[in-house]
Structure 1
Amino acid sequence: MTAHAPEPGAAGRPQPGRRSSSNADAPPSPTVDVHAHILIPEVEAVVAGLPGQAEARDLEARRNGPASLAVSGPMVRTVFPRATDVRLRLAAMDAQGVDVQLVSPSPSHYHYWADEETAEKVCRLAAEATAAHCAEAPDRLRGLGLVPLQHPQQAVRALDQALEQGLLGVEISSHAPGRELSDPAYEPFWARAAATGAILFLHPFGCTLDERLDQWYLSNTVGQPTENAVALSHLIFSGVLDRHPELKLIAAHGGGYLPTHIGRSDHAWSARSDAGANCAQLPSSYLKRLYFDSLVHDPHVLRALIGAAGPDRVLLGSDFPFDMGTEDPVGALRAARLPDADFHAVRGGNAAALLGLT
């Protein structure tokens, strides 16, 4: 694998084939995109026509609104080839200057409405399909599976199945119906993830603000950052991160609103006994235990995220191949005009260490 070494931000251009490093002769780290998706027709075939599917689709339609659905349907059909064909994926990666993608199932495959038997099939098929996809280019692709958050008792087994398939971990949403990530029922799952070193990718799907966001694609532009902030707050304030400090959790979309508004959480923790009851340290301190992708669509926000979490906690993300992503993740990172070392850390150094790439 030849590592791409694009130019840094504000501090000048590195010599070709080199990056800013304490070891000037060290090869550049690979450019790693940790937010990329696969569409899995086999999963949709399993759930087609089952009780609950129509109700789930109706809920999604209400939450998004007809105008957004009219755009999303054709968009998904357009990106489908790149989300399923490895050759097209690799060609797109080459055009972007990306060496490695961490591929996760589209969040549309969560199907948290499904019964236990169906949920087991969904997670098994998702793991198998993602592993097979990545196996076509093992030096370029790594993968994640799914767990059924609606059935916490199945979560550990689903995680183990994903790891057995050679995947690095699993993708989860911000909540399941009737359950927040702070629910004690998830304790065995967090413990197993921490013990195995599995990667957890927190990627919301949908927003419980419902019809308030059913115009102008607010369901995504406002809903996703909100869901990220709520989910991370549950993990922090409930003490999950205190009890499982070794968790390797990546939050999509830069963690939503939380990292850039963490001061309000810190103030509540300090000023109110109820806010600080289950959380051992200032909420802002936990940002340095988490990872965040760089997909915030604004160089000023990206710099603020890095300031809040640290340059070693932010990873390149594109949301490939969907329209709310970026076709040029390295260019978006370059626009933040970071110091050389931070640029290369986010471009790939941090992810290479986290994912165990050589």
Structure 2
Amino acid sequence: MTRPTIDVHAHVLLPAVESLVTGLPGHAEAKELDARRNGPAALAVSGPMVRERVPRLTDAAVRLAAMDAQGVDVQLVSPSPTHYHYWADEVSAEKLYRLANEATAAHCAKAPDRLRGLGLVPLQHPHHMVRALGHALEQGLAGVEISSHAPGRELSDPAYEPFWARAEETGAILFLHPFGCTLDERLDQWYLSNTVGQPTENAVALSHLIFSGVLDRHPGLRLIAAHGGGYLPTHIGRADHAWSARADAGAGCAHPPSSYLKRLYFDSLVHDPYVLRELVRVAGADRVLLGSDFPFDMGTEDPVGALRAARLPEADFHAVRGGNAAALLRKD
């Protein structure tokens, strides 16, 4: 029997979340910051692109038809990162994550054998995150999606320790997907906000988790990094050198940084077969999962074809295509 093909990087759009936050204090300022970071040319392209994809992002039947066309059996569906809204106050943030979790669960319930979901937690309010994770799991979701940072907080912040501990204890899947890059207007042309910003944010966030010892304290975390982990896996040698050469770099984690790649999971969305081969080499074939960024234009319409282009050994190809994700989802 052929194992299912599982895409762990697919999104759902939740209009009710945007209706909830529209007009709240801080919403307009957040939109203005996002506009400055992306620049007018990117916004002019992104608006029509998203509108054209709304049916795939909101209608489960349309989603399933698109999955069939791609040869994908199962999607792990996470809210669009535009729904993070880490500017929201505590009351609004609780309403937001509850609505997002319930709406994502309802979307996936339309085809429970083919759609699994992830919820949201308020990264800007660490003391609410354990409760938010619990709410997501109560809805039948497999875990939650988080960004690379919240305003004023990196993922190495000690305030997140209870969340990491609870995620490890429950076996929840954590999907690390950045939204917005703090390089701001330096990346406001040519869509650098995404092409450079996303892999940069991935690398920074993962480095905080590694160098601070979060992965030493919580070795059972099941964290998937979007976009193949960004720049970090292919430049991990520099991190290893710093760890061994400098007392300050090596003070927070017990082992060379490269060793922690084998404790993380990565999606396959790197847009280059040679980079994908390198990701499999440094992380292990059992730590890479198929990802498409469905249905956005920075994803791939043919995730299985992109994986096959890497010309991995057949066993590794099938592990990435679905075997690894199937094992991960069976444990949640």
TM-score range, shorter chain: over 0.9
Residue number in structure 2 paired with 1:187 = 161
Distance in 2, matches of 1:357 and 1:123, equals 24
- Structure 2 letter corresponding to 1:179: R
Q: Provide the residue aligned with 2:98 in structure 1.
A: 124
Cα distance, 1:357 vs structure 2: 8.0
Whether contact under 8 Å (2:97, 2:122) holds in the other structure is yes
| Partner SS for 2:102 | helix
Indicate the residue corresponding to 1:174 in structure 2: 148
Q: After superposition, what is the alpha-carbon deviation per residue over 1:235-290, rounded to whole angstroms, capped at 9, x for unaligned?
A: 00000000000000000000000000000000000000000101000000000000
Measure, in 2, the Cα distance between the counterparts of 1:220 and 1:143.
24
- Structure-2 separation of matches of 1:357 and 1:277: 33
1:58-103 Cα offsets, whole Å, 9 max, x none, are 1001100000000111111011110000000000000000000000
Residue aligning to 2:323: 349
Match of 2:294 among 279, 296, 320: 320
Q: 2-side partners of 1:239 and 1:247: how far apart?
A: 12
* In 2: Cα distance, 1:190 partner to 1:222 partner: 28
Whether the aligned pair in 1 keeps the contact of 2:60 and 2:110 (CA below 8 Å) is yes
Q: Does 1:301 align with 2:275?
A: yes
In 2: Cα distance, 1:139 partner to 1:190 partner? 29
Equivalent-residue separation in structure 2 for 1:278 and 1:207 (angstroms): 25
Which residue number corresponds to residue 132 of structure 2?
158
Residue 281 of structure 2 aligns to which amino acid in structure 1? G
1:21 is aligned to none
- Which residue number corresponds to residue 247 of structure 1? 221
1:289-340 per-residue CA deviation (whole Å, 9 max, x = no partner) reads: 0000000000010001001100000000000011100000000001001110
Partners of 2:324 and 2:243 in 1: how far apart?
A: 30
The reply to whether residue 133 of structure 1 matches residue 138 of structure 2 is: no
Aligned residues: 332
- SS of residue matched to 1:37: strand
Q: How much identity, in percent, do the aligned residues show?
A: 84
State the secondary structure of the residue aligned to 1:312: helix
2-structure distance, mates of 1:188, 1:275: 25
Mapping of 1:87-106 within 5 angstroms? 87-106=61-80
Displacement, 1:29? 1.1
Matches within 5 A, 1:6-45: 27-45=1-19
Structure 2 stretches of 5 or more lacking a match?
none
Higher helix share: 2
Distance change >3 Å, CA 140–CA 357, structure 1 → 2: farther
Change (3 A) 1:228 1:158: same
- Distance in 1 between the 2:296 and 2:97 partners? 22
Match of 1:273 among 233, 247, 250: 247
Matching residue's letter, 2:194: N
Match of residue 8 from structure 1 = none
TM-score by length of 1: 0.92
Alpha-carbon distance between aligned partners in 2 of 1:285 and 1:122, rounded to the nearest angstrom: 37
Distance 1:198 1:55 in 2: 33
Normalised to the residue count of structure 2, the TM-score between the two structures is 0.99
Amino acid across the alignment from 2:46: S
Q: Point out 4+ residue stretches in structure 1 off by more than 2 angstroms.
A: none
**CA displacement at 1:28 relative to structure 2:** 1.6
Residue of structure 2 aligned with 1:282, choices 250, 256, 274: 256
Instruction: Output the CA distance in 2 between the equivalents of 1:46 and 1:135.
Output: 22
Larger Rg computed on CA atoms: 1
2:37 is aligned, of 44, 58, 63, to 63
Displacement of 1:169: 0.2
Amino acid aligned to 1:340? E
For 1:71 and 1:113, the matched residues in 2 are separated by 25
Q: Tell me how far apart the structure 1 counterparts of residues 264 and 25 of structure 2 sit (CA, whole Å).
A: 37
1:111 match: 85
